[in-house]
């Protein structure tokens, strides 16, 4: 199977064709082999525009949603990014193609271990993986210019907002229903003030932890 060709088609049709216009995001998606981040039995479906199951009853997100969330972060090459919900490591790899450093937190130990090994094997030396409660962020490396959360929260965790740099952006699905959320972007405009924008209706697995479900 020609994964390189399928990746190119995915980027042109599913991403650029549906409104993703950041060249940095499109270039990153062209470089990251999504087939390396899905279970072997599902590699043939790696470039379908759909979420796929991975270990721990979790999912690797739909490619378009990954692109939409990362584009909303408006990353630069100098940015330090915090990702909550490493999963298989796919989004972390895409982020690492754009930003300076990616700090990613996963609550399920087996996923964190496998993702760290996979990302290292693929040469992503600027991705750092932690097994911990993602709702509490990763304080040691804060503040971050961007935070992305790949699980649905009942409300925006206060700890994550505090770990944003001034002008930093947080993209997260929130909602009182664990089965459906609203994707929002939160921008820190001052020490105490935050601006929130609604981006899209989405469906993510629940964000489990001290400041989640």
Q: Is residue 62 part of a domain?
A: yes
Residue 207: the pLDDT is: 96
Mean pLDDT of 91-119: 98
**CATH number of the domain within which 142 lies:** 3.40.50.150
Q: What pLDDT does residue 179 have?
A: 85
Q: Examine residue 25 and state whether it is found in any structural domain, yes or no.
A: no
- Whether residue 161 is contained in a domain is answered as yes
Domain membership of residue 36 (yes or no) is no
Query: How far, in Å, CA of 72 to CA of 29, rounded?
Result: 15
148: in domain: yes
- What is the pLDDT at residue 73? 98
Structural domain range at position 119: 53-202
Q: What is the pLDDT of residues 122-180, one digit of tens each?
A: 999 999 999 999 999 999 999 999 999 999 999 999 999 999 999 999 999 999 988 89
Per-residue confidence band for 213, with pLDDT thresholds at 50, 70 and 90: very high
Structure tokens at 150: 């790949």
Report yes or no: 90 and 118 within 8 Å, Cβ to Cβ: no
pLDDT at 68 over 90: yes
pLDDT band at 1 (very low <50, low <70, confident <90, very high): confident
pLDDT digits (tens, 9 = 90+) for 189-198: 999 999 999 9
Task: Please report whether residue 157 resides in a domain.
Answer: yes
- 3-state DSSP of the chain: CCHHHHHHHHHHHHHHHHCCCCHHHHHHHHHCCHHHHCCHHHHHHCCCCCCEEEHHHEEECCHHHHHHHHHHCCCCCCCEEEEECCCCCHHHHHHHHHCCEEEEEECCHHHHHHHHHHHHHCCCCCEEEEECCHHHCCHHHCCEEEEEECCEECCCCHHHHHCEEEEEEEEEEEEEECCEEEEEEEEECCCCCEEEEEEEEECCCECCCCCCC
Residue 3 lies in a domain: no
* Residue 136, pLDDT score: 98
| Geometric angle at alpha carbon 150, from 148 and 151, rounded to 5° | 125
Dump pLDDT digits (tens) for 10-32: 999 999 999 999 999 999 999 99
Q: What is the predicted pLDDT for the residue at 194? A: 98
pLDDT at residue 43 above 90? yes
Average pLDDT over residues 70-79: 98
* Within a domain: 154: yes
The confidence score (pLDDT) of residue 184 equals 98
Tell me what the pLDDT averaged over the chain comes to.
97
> Half-sphere exposure (CA, 13 Å, Cβ side) for 173?
25
- Number of structural domains found in the chain: 1
Residues with active-site annotation: 61
The percentage of residues in the chain with a pLDDT greater than 70, rounded to a whole number, is 100
> Which of 182, 191, 140, 184 lies closest to 164, judged by CA?
191
């Amino acid at each position: 199977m020609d994964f390189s060709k399928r990746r190119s088609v995915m980027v042109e049709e599913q991403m650029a064709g549906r409104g993703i216009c950041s060249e940095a995001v499109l270039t990153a998606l062209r470089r990251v082999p999504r087939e390396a981040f899905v279970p072997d039995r599902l590699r043939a479906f790696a470039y379908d525009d759909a979420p796929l199951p991975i270990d721990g009853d979790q999912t690797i997100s739909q490619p378009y949603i990954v692109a939409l969330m990362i584009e909303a972060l408006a990353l630069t090459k100098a940015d330090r990014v915090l990702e909550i919900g490493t999963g298989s490591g796919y989004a972390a790899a895409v982020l690492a193609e754009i930003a300076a450093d990616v700090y990613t937190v996963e609550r399920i130990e087996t996923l964190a271990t496998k993702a760290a090994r996979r990302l290292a094997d693929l040469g992503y030396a600027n991705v750092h993986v932690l097994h911990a409660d993602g709702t509490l962020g990763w304080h040691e490396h804060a503040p971050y210019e961007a935070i992305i959360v790949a699980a649905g929260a009942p409300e925006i965790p206060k700890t994550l907002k505090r770990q944003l740099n001034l002008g930093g952006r947080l993209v997260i699905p929130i909602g009182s229903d664990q089965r459906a959320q609203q994707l929002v972007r939160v921008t820190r405009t001052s020490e105490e003030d935050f601006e929130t924008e609604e981006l899209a209706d989405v469906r993510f697995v629940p964000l489990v932890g001290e400041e989640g479900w």
